[in-house]
Amino acid sequence: MYNVMLIDDEASARKLMMDSIDWESLDMHVVGEAESGIEAINTIDDIKPDIAFVDISMPFMDGIQFSEIATQRYPDLIIIIMTAFDKFEYARKCVSMPIFEYMLKPMVRSEVTEVLKRAKARLDERGPVQWESSDTPEEQLSATEAVMKYIQENYTDSTLNLTSVAQAFGFSSSYLSRKFKSETGKGFAQYLTQVRMENAMKLAGPDVKMFNISAKVGIPDPNYFGRCFKKFTGKSYSEYAQGCAEK
Amino acid sequence: MRIGSLSRRLRWVFFVVVALLTIAFLVSTLLIVRREEQEAAVREAESKLIGLSGSISSSIEGYKELSKLMIMEEPLAAFLKEEDSAEAFNHIIDAKYSMQRIINVTSGVDAVYAFRTDGMYACTKRGVFVLDKESYEEELWPAAVLELRGRAIEYANGNGALRKIDNYPFISIERAFYDMNTQERTGYLMLLVSGKVIDQALATHQGSDICVVGLDGTYLSGDRSLVRVYDRSLAGSAVTHKPYFVRGQRVMISGVRVADTPIIVISCIPLEGKPLPGRTLGVLIFLMGAMTVGIFVLGRFVSVNITKPINRLSKAMNIGESAKELVPISDKMPDNEIGLLKDSYNSMVIRISNLIQELITKEQTIQRAEMRVLQEQIKPHFLYNSIGMISSLALRNGAGEVSSALETLGRFYRNFLSKGDREIPLEREVLIVKDYLSLQKLRYGEIIRDEYDVKDECLKCIVPKLILQPLVENSIYHGIRLKGEEGIIRISATIEDDNLLHLVVYDTGVGMDKETAEKLMSGKKNVSPDEESFGLWGTIERLRYYFNRDNVVKIDSEEGEFTRIEFIVPVTYVPRAEEK
C-alpha cells in the first residue's frame, strides 16, 4: 500500500481527486492533504507520502517552489505536478527537477490512473520512500537540546521542517523524530508549531493583522496559520486579538 | 481656393513695384527734362539778350556821341548862348541848319530840339512831333538832365513831353548845354532817335520773340504782345528769368536792361519742344534700361528660385495624392529653404507613413483578435450545450446545487464572450462579476462577501468589456486570499457631478504598497508581465486607450486594510463601434 498526499489550494479539487480515483485497486491510499506549499512543508514529515500530487498555482509557495524543496529533501518522493493550461509552459521550464510527470488540468480520471500505474511500477521496482531509517547513529546527548535551540533560532524560516533540521544535523529524519519525541514528549512538528504560535501570541494584538504575524513566525500562509493558531490556543486569531485588547 | 494665391500675389506685388518704378522714372525724367529745358532756355535767352543789349547799347552810345558833337556846333552854341532873346531869334535859322546837316548825314535821328532857358527853341525833324509845352515849362524832365551836369540821358518816347504823331516809338537823348566860358547852363539839347534803330538791331537776331520796352513799360520795338509780361523785376542789369504761360504755352521770359539806358530787352523762349541734350538722354535711356533689366532679373529670380520650385514641390507632393499613398519627394530641389521644405515634408511623410503603418498593424491585430473571438464563438455552442445537458442531468439526480452552479457558469461564459463585442453595457459587466464571484465563492467558500451599489443611471453606460472582472480577480488573489480572513468586495458605480462615470472596486484585502499604486497610476510601461499587478495594469491601459484619456484611475490603499480602485471615465451610451 503506497501513501499519497494531495497538495492543492482548492478543497474541491482535492476532494474530487480523492473521490474519483479508485485508489484501492492501485494499492494506494490518500494519507494527507495540504492547502498550500507552506502547509505541506510543515506536515509532510508526519504524512510520509510516497507520491505527491502538487498543484502549481498556490499562494505563498507555489508548486514549483515546493517541488524544489521537496526534490532536495525527499529525493525518492514521486512528484506529479498538476497545472492549468496557462501555467504549463512555466512548469515546463522547471524540467531540471526530477518531476515524475506533468499533468494538465482539468483532471481526467483515466489519465491520472495511467500515471499512477506507472508510479506504482516505479515504486514496486525501487521500493517505497525510506521514511523509516534503520541506521542508528552514535548517541549525542546534547542533540535534542541543540535541535530545540536551532528551532528557536530558525522558526521564522518557512521551509523549516523535520527533514531539513535532520539534514542540518546529519541525522536521518526518523531518528531525529524518534529521539525528539522520546526526550521531549512532543513531536518535532508539534514543537515547531508551538514555538511559532508562542511567538505569534506575543506579537498578537487588535491592531496587528493576522497575515503580518503569520509571515513573521514562518507561516506565510495565513489560512494555514489560522488553523494552527486555533488548534493551539483554542481561539481564532481575531477572537484572541480581541482578548488582548480587553486585557 | 488658396492654390496659386501666392504666385498671384507675387505677380500683383511685382506689377505694383513695376508701376511705382515707372511712375518714379517718369516723374524724375519729367523733372530732368524741365530742368534741361529751362537751362537751355536760360542759356539761349542769355546769349540772345546779352548780344542784343550790347548792340543796342553801342548804337545808343553812338547817338550820345552825336549829341555831344552837335553841342559843339557853333551856330547852335551861338543860339543857346545869346543872352538877348531877340538876338537869339536871329540865330534860330543857323542853328536849325547846323542841326539839319547833322541829321542829314546820320540815319536814325528823327528830330533834334534845342531849348534856350527862356523857353525859345530851335528844332529840326523828320515826321510830326507834338511838344507838350506845359510839362516842358514846368521843367519836369529837364530837372533830371540838369542833375547830370552835361552828360546825356535817354528816355524812351520823350518821357511824356514829346509825342510823335504816328505813335512810332523813339528814344530821346537829352543833354544840358553849358557855356564853355561861364560854365552856366544856357539850354538843353534833345536828340530823338527813331525806334527803327532798335528794329535794325533786332533784325540782326533771328526769332520774333523779342521785345524792347522802356523802363516804364512803353513799347519800343519787337513783339508788341510781350509788353504785357514786362515788370520791373526784368529790368535788372543782369539777365533775369521767370517761367510764364503765354497762350497756354510754357515759356521762359527773360529780361535785361541795356547798360546806362532805360531800355529793357525781353525775350520769350518756349520751354516745350526743346530737344534734350544727348548726354541727359543717354543717362535716362541707360536708367530706363537698367531698371527694365533689374525688374526682369528680379522677376526671373523670384520665378526661378521661389515660384517654380514651389510649383514643382507642389506637383511632387501631388504625385503621392494621385498614387493614393504618401511618397517622399525624390526630385532634386535647390539647396535652400525650398530644399528644407522638401526635407521636412519628406520626414513628415515618413512619420505619417509610420503612423499609418502602426495604425494598420494595430487594426490588423484587433481584427485578428476579433477573428479569434469569432472562432471562440463557435466552440461555446458546444460548451453551452454540454453545460445545459450536465445541468439537467444533475437536476434529475437531485443535485440542485450542481445544476445552479452550472447555470451560473454557463451564464458567466455567455456574458464573458458577449458575442465578441468589445464594449458592453455596465449592467452586463456587473453580471459577469456577480457570476464570477458566485463561482469563486463555491471554490473558496465563505472568505468572500460581495456587495453591489450600482446606481440605475449607470446601468446602460457603455464600457469596454472585462474592466471590472480583472479587478475583482485581483482582489481575490492578491487581496483577500492572502489575508486569511473573510473579506469584502464592494462594487459601486455612480455618475458624479463632474458628469463622469465612477466605477469603484473596493476590497478589504492585504492592500497594495504605495510604490505599486503609483506605478499603476502613472501609466508608464513599466510593469512586466511577470508581476502580480500586470493584469490590473493591462486593464488600466485598455481603459486609457479606449477613452483616450490618461487620467482614468485612482488607487487608494492602506496596507493590511483595503484597496480601492476607482475608474473615472466619460459617460457614453453608444458603443464606439456604432459611432462610426
Contact predicate B490/B449, CB 8 Å:
no
Q: How far apart are CA B225 and CA B246, in angstroms?
A: 10
The residue among B244, B276, B308 that closes a domain is B276
Q: How far apart are CA B20 and CA A230, in angstroms?
A: 107
pLDDT tens profile A31-86: 999 988 999 999 998 889 999 999 988 888 888 889 989 988 888 899 999 887 66
- Residue B492 covered by a domain: yes
First to last CA, chain A: 52
Q: How far apart are CA B437 and CA B332, in angstroms?
A: 67
pLDDT of B400 over the 80 cut: yes
Contact predicate A53/A80, CB 8 Å:
yes
- CATH number for the domain that contains residue B504: 3.30.565.10
Contact B443 A59 (CB under 8 A): no
Give the pLDDT score at B12. Answer: 85
Q: Which strands sit side by side in the sheet containing B153-156, from one edge to the other?
A: B121-125, B109-116, B185-194, B170-178, B153-156
A69-73, A207-211, B67-71, B183-187: segment of lowest average pLDDT: B183-187
Q: How far apart are CA B291 and CA B21, in angstroms?
A: 8
Q: What is the mean pLDDT of residues B283-292?
A: 83
Q: Classify the phi-psi angles of A221: left when phi > 0, otherwise alpha if psi is within -120 to 50, otherwise beta.
A: beta
Compare CB distances from B481 to A59, A214, A238 and report the shortest one's residue: A59
Give the pLDDT score at B580. Answer: 39
Contact predicate B444/A13, CB 8 Å:
no
Amino acid at B16: V
Compare CB distances from A211 to B442, B443, B510 and report the shortest one's residue: B510
- CATH number for the domain that contains residue A150: 1.10.10.60
Give the pLDDT score at B1. Answer: 44
Q: Provide the chain B residues 504-533 that lie in CB contact (below 8 A) with chain A.
A: 510
Pair (A69, A100) in one structural domain: yes
What proportion of chain B, given as a percentage, has pLDDT over 90?
12
Mutation for B interface: A203, A209, A229, A238, most B CBs within 10 A: A209
Pair (A162, A202) in one structural domain: yes
**How many Å lie between the alpha carbon of A141 and the closest alpha carbon of chain B?**
41
pLDDT tens profile B329-350: 777 777 788 888 888 888 888 8
Q: Which residues of A touch chain B, with CB atoms under 8 Å apart?
A: 10-12, 59-60, 209-212, 214, 221-223, 225-226, 238
Closest residue by Cα to residue A191 from A221, A149, A227, A158: A149
- CATH number for the domain that contains residue B269: 3.30.450.20
**How many Å lie between the alpha carbon of B443 and the closest alpha carbon of chain A?**
7
B41-50, B211-220, B404-413: segment of lowest average pLDDT: B211-220
Mutation for B interface: A16, A212, A223, most B CBs within 10 A: A223
Neighbouring residues of B35: CB distance < 8 A, sequence distance ≥ 6: none
- CATH number for the domain that contains residue A99: 3.40.50.2300
Q: How far is CA A182 from CA A120, A178, A186, in A?
A: 34, 6, 8
CB neighbour class for B68 (10 Å; exposed up to 12, middle 13-18, buried from 19): middle
- Residue A137 covered by a domain: no
pLDDT of B398 over the 80 cut: yes
Mutation for B interface: A39, A57, A211, A214, most B CBs within 10 A: A211
Give the pLDDT score at B135. Answer: 58
Give the pLDDT score at B554. Answer: 92
Any alpha helices (H) in B5-151, and if so which ranges?
Answer: 5-72, 74-81, 85-105, 133-137, 140-147
Going by pLDDT thresholds of 50, 70 and 90, the confidence category of residue A23 is: very high
- Residue A232 covered by a domain: yes
**How many Å lie between the alpha carbon of B535 and the closest alpha carbon of chain A?**
14
Q: What phi and psi values does residue A219 have, to the nearest 5 degrees?
A: -125, 80
Give the pLDDT score at B190. Answer: 80
Question: pTM for the full model?
Answer: 0.52
Pair (A44, A114) in one structural domain: yes
Give the pLDDT score at B4. Answer: 60
DSSP annotation of A182 reads H
B526 or B358: which leads in pLDDT: B358
Going by pLDDT thresholds of 50, 70 and 90, the confidence category of residue A96 is: confident
pLDDT tens profile B439-460: 998 888 778 999 999 999 999 9
- Residue B289 covered by a domain: no
A13-22, A80-89, B87-96, B261-270: segment of lowest average pLDDT: A80-89
How long, in residues, is chain A? 247
Going by pLDDT thresholds of 50, 70 and 90, the confidence category of residue B101 is: confident
Q: How far apart are CA A93 and CA B71, in angstroms?
A: 159
Contact predicate B72/B40, CB 8 Å:
no
- Residue B410 covered by a domain: no
Q: State the DSSP H helix or E strand holding residue A114, giving kind and residue range, or none if neither.
A: helix A109-126
Q: What is the mean pLDDT of residues B57-79?
A: 81
Pair (A62, A164) in one structural domain: no
Buried b (16+ CB within 10 A) or exposed e, B254-273: bbbbbeebbbbbbbbbebee
**Structural domains of chain B, count:** 2
Q: What is the mean pLDDT of residues A110-138?
A: 81
Among chain A residues, CA nearest to B486? A223
Contact predicate B91/B78, CB 8 Å:
yes
Give the pLDDT score at B140. Answer: 46
Contact A210 B510 (CB under 8 A): no
Does a cis peptide bond (omega within 30 degrees of 0) precede residue A106? yes
Pair (A110, A161) in one structural domain: no
Pair (A214, A159) in one structural domain: yes
Compare CB distances from B482 to A211, A226, A238 and report the shortest one's residue: A211
**Domain, as residue range, for B60:** 1-276
Assigned C-alpha cell, B556: 487608494
Pair (A188, A147) in one structural domain: yes
Contact B484 A221 (CB under 8 A): yes
Contact A211 B560 (CB under 8 A): yes
Assigned C-alpha cell, B163: 509825342
The residue among B276, B307, B338 that closes a domain is B276
Any alpha helices (H) in B259-399, and if so which ranges?
Answer: 278-302, 308-322, 337-396
pLDDT of B274 over the 70 cut: no
Assigned C-alpha cell, B169: 516809338
Placement of cell 521785345 in the chain: B211
Instruction: Tell me the DSSP string of A193-247.
Output: HHHHHHHHHHH--TTS-HHHHHHHTT---HHHHHHHHHHHHSS-HHHHHHHHHH-
Count of other CB atoms within 10 angstroms of residue B576 = 13
B74-83, B129-138, B200-209, B225-234: segment of lowest average pLDDT: B129-138
Q: What is the mean pLDDT of residues B527-546?
A: 78
Q: State the DSSP H helix or E strand holding residue A139, giving kind and residue range, or none if neither.
A: none
Give the pLDDT score at B579. Answer: 46
B145 or A235: which leads in pLDDT: A235
Pair (A153, A44) in one structural domain: no
Pair (A190, A242) in one structural domain: yes
pLDDT tens profile B105-120: 787 888 888 888 777 7
**How many Å lie between the alpha carbon of A211 and the closest alpha carbon of chain B?**
5
Contact A222 B477 (CB under 8 A): no
**Structural domains of chain A, count:** 2
- Residue A7 covered by a domain: yes
Give the pLDDT score at A223. Answer: 87
Give the pLDDT score at A26. Answer: 92
Going by pLDDT thresholds of 50, 70 and 90, the confidence category of residue B150 is: low
Q: At what angle do helices B85-105 and B74-81 cross, to 10 degrees?
A: 150
Q: What is the mean pLDDT of chain B?
A: 81
Interface contacts A/B by beta carbons within 8 Å: 34
Q: State the DSSP H helix or E strand holding residue B260, giving kind and residue range, or none if neither.
A: none
Chain A contact for B451, CB < 8 A? no
- Residue A135 covered by a domain: no
**Domain, as residue range, for A11:** 2-126
Q: How far apart are CA B123 and CA B271, in angstroms?
A: 48
pLDDT of B502 over the 50 cut: yes
Among chain A residues, CA nearest to B561? A209
What proportion of chain A, given as a percentage, has pLDDT over 90?
28
Q: What phi and psi values does residue A132 have, to the nearest 5 degrees?
A: -95, 110
Which residues of B fall within a CB distance of 8 Å from A223?
Answer: 481, 484
Give the pLDDT score at B99. Answer: 82
- Residue A133 covered by a domain: no
DSSP annotation of A161 reads -
Most confident of B18-22, B25-29, B84-88, B488-492: B488-492
Placement of cell 475608474 in the chain: B567
- Residue A172 covered by a domain: yes
Contact predicate B63/B191, CB 8 Å:
yes
The residue among A91, A126, A161 that closes a domain is A126
Which residues of A fall within a CB distance of 8 Å from B445?
Answer: 11
- Residue A51 covered by a domain: yes
Q: What is the mean pLDDT of residues B242-247?
A: 80
Pair (A152, A185) in one structural domain: yes
pLDDT of B58 over the 70 cut: yes
Pair (A148, A208) in one structural domain: yes
Going by pLDDT thresholds of 50, 70 and 90, the confidence category of residue A30 is: very high
Q: What is the mean pLDDT of chain A?
A: 86
Q: What phi and psi values does residue B512 have, to the nearest 5 degrees?
A: -135, 140
Neighbouring residues of A152: CB distance < 8 A, sequence distance ≥ 6: A195
CB neighbour class for B306 (10 Å; exposed up to 12, middle 13-18, buried from 19): middle
The residue among B246, B276, B306 that closes a domain is B276
Closest residue by Cα to residue A217 from A154, A144, A147: A154
Q: What is the mean pLDDT of residues B524-545?
A: 77
Closest residue by Cα to residue A107 from A76, A140, A80: A80
pLDDT of A25 over the 80 cut: yes
Among chain B residues, CA nearest to A12? B443
Pair (A148, A58) in one structural domain: no
Pairing of strands A28-34, A2-7: parallel
Give the pLDDT score at A172. Answer: 83
CB neighbour class for B400 (10 Å; exposed up to 12, middle 13-18, buried from 19): exposed
Contact predicate B111/B126, CB 8 Å:
yes
